């Protein structure tokens, strides 16, 4: 399932999420879920996800992807 498809299933796409890239080991997105649907990585497959109910950053959901950037 792609990032776009995953977010499309959310009932509230205004929640703050983060997207973590396994290939670079960095967070590549933080913001409203709906905004991530139209980023360059939106067609990447979701490898896994984390739910963090104790996040001090206000991030409840983290999608983990592996981006293959075109150079």
- Give the mean pLDDT of 14-27: 95
Does 66 have pLDDT greater than 80? yes
Q: How far apart are CA 62 and CA 40, in angstroms?
A: 17
Could you tell me if 59 and 17 are in contact, meaning their C-beta atoms sit under 8 angstroms apart? yes
pLDDT in tens, 21-64: 999 999 999 999 999 999 999 999 999 999 988 889 889 899 99
pLDDT at 4 over 80: yes
Q: What is the pLDDT at residue 70?
A: 63
Residue at token pair 């080991």: 25
**Does this model's pTM top 0.85?**
yes
Tell me how long the chain is.
Answer: 71
């Amino acid at each position: 399932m792609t990032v776009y498809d995953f977010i499309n299933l959310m009932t509230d796409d205004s929640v703050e999420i983060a997207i973590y890239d396994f290939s670079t080991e960095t967070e590549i997105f933080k913001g409203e879920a709906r905004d991530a649907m139209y980023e360059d990585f939106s067609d990447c497959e979701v490898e896994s996800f984390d739910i963090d109910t104790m996040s001090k950053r206000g991030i409840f959901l983290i999608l983990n992807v592996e981006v293959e950037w075109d150079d």
